[in-house]
Amino acid sequence: MIIAEFFRKNGEITGFKVSGHAGYDESGRDIVCASVSSAVMMAANLITEIFGFEAEISAVDDTVTLKTDVPEDSVLQGLYKGLILQTEQISLEFNGTITLKYSEV
């Protein structure tokens, strides 16, 4: 199962951690893992490379973590919400492969 955890501080999203495997198909053929990986990479690249937000990023084994400290930025919040929406849609399409959770930091 993929665990997509989104961090919040004072109602604002400040980052995410995505880990695990969907188990929908064998490694290298799992379209759920590929879809989530692509969404995470797109979000991370938009946040850091396109919009230039400073972020703490870690990619180790099957876990990607990204954290920012930019209070109340509407563009950044939109990027995070886009990743949440995409992850939710994939989860609805492939039930039982992704768990979304939210943590206050």
Q: For residue 69, what is the domain's CATH number?
A: 3.30.70.1490
- pTM for this predicted structure: 0.95
Which residue segment(s) compose the domain that 53 sits in?
2-104
Percent of the chain with pLDDT over 70: 100
Confidence of residue 52 (pLDDT cuts 50, 70, 90): very high
Q: For the chain, how many structural domains are there in total?
A: 1
Rounded CA-CA distance 61/52 in Å is: 25
Give which of 35, 29, 40 is closest to 4, Cα–Cα.
40
Query: Is it the case that residue 27 has pLDDT exceeding 90?
Result: no
Query: Is residue 71 pLDDT above 90, yes or no?
Result: no
Please tell me whether residue 64 adopts helix, strand or coil conformation.
strand
Task: Kindly indicate the confidence band of residue 51, based on its pLDDT and cuts at 50, 70 and 90.
Answer: very high
Mean pLDDT computed over every residue of the chain = 97
In this structure, the strands spanning 98-104 and 56-60 are: unpaired
